[in-house]
Structure 1
Amino acid sequence: MAALVGSWQFWAVLAACFAALTALFAKVGVQAIDPDLATFIRTLVVVAALAGILAATGKWRHQGAIPGSTWLFLVLSGLATGASWICYFRALQLGEVGRVAPIDKLSVVLVALFGALFLGERLSAANWAGVMLIGAGALLVAYRG
């Protein structure tokens, strides 16, 4: 069990499960209020939950000096997360969750491209085929035919 909990695959599958629940809960929750307010409420919940986790695990302590580049990229990541959530909640309010969520998951395709272009990561031909299938699948799910 320790090996399973220590694997990236375990956490990635959990992330996918929670992301699916996020989409369903958000679709229902955003129907009666402004999507920006819904995003704000969601963000407060995330902040409170993470504060609780940090306090409960004893990780709420000074980690030493945080390099400027770390701050920069974490702030940029936070801004990108916020922009993604705002757009996602607006899309959920306007569209069907079963069609919005797959388009949102085109981020898988984009992150593969960006990882290769900007971080020098290399994917095999089979990996790129999978990326293309994810993209094609997302588009097919979103297509109203």
Structure 2
Amino acid sequence: MSADLRTIGDRQDIAMLLARIAHLADAGDPEEHIACFTPDAIWDLTDATDLPMDVQTIRGRDALLAGVHDRRASGIQGPGTHTRHDISSIAVEIDEDRASARSYFRYYRRTDGAPTLAAMGVYADTFVRTAAGWRLHHRVISRG
């Protein structure tokens, strides 16, 4: 496969991984969700304005999984919460087995009726190519 075709495929794979992470956050299995991340992944929420959670940095799959369970228990996300994570304007840069992406997100509540936009901002992500495919290594969530 030529380098250009590989880059195009990698960008598509990363865009699909971003979609998968969003879908699994809203309605999927927590273990499948966490499998999208590297074992040493970092999740940085830098601005929690209007969210029922605090600014925080979570490190590693075990802590990420605990965070998913906490957010589901508190009704912030997950099956039955009627929330949606929507991602757009994805820009991906590939550097061999590492990649970075910047995308916009919108987080909606009450999607079972008249949805309410609860938050919007930017995901600044880094990815690593693994034997299982691309995995999210570091996510910085900001409003700017």
TM normalised by structure 2 equals 0.29
Instruction: Identify, as 1 or 2, the structure richer in helix.
Output: 1
Which structure has the larger Rg over C-alpha atoms?
Answer: 1
TM normalised by structure 1 equals 0.29
Instruction: Identify, as 1 or 2, the structure richer in strand.
Output: 2
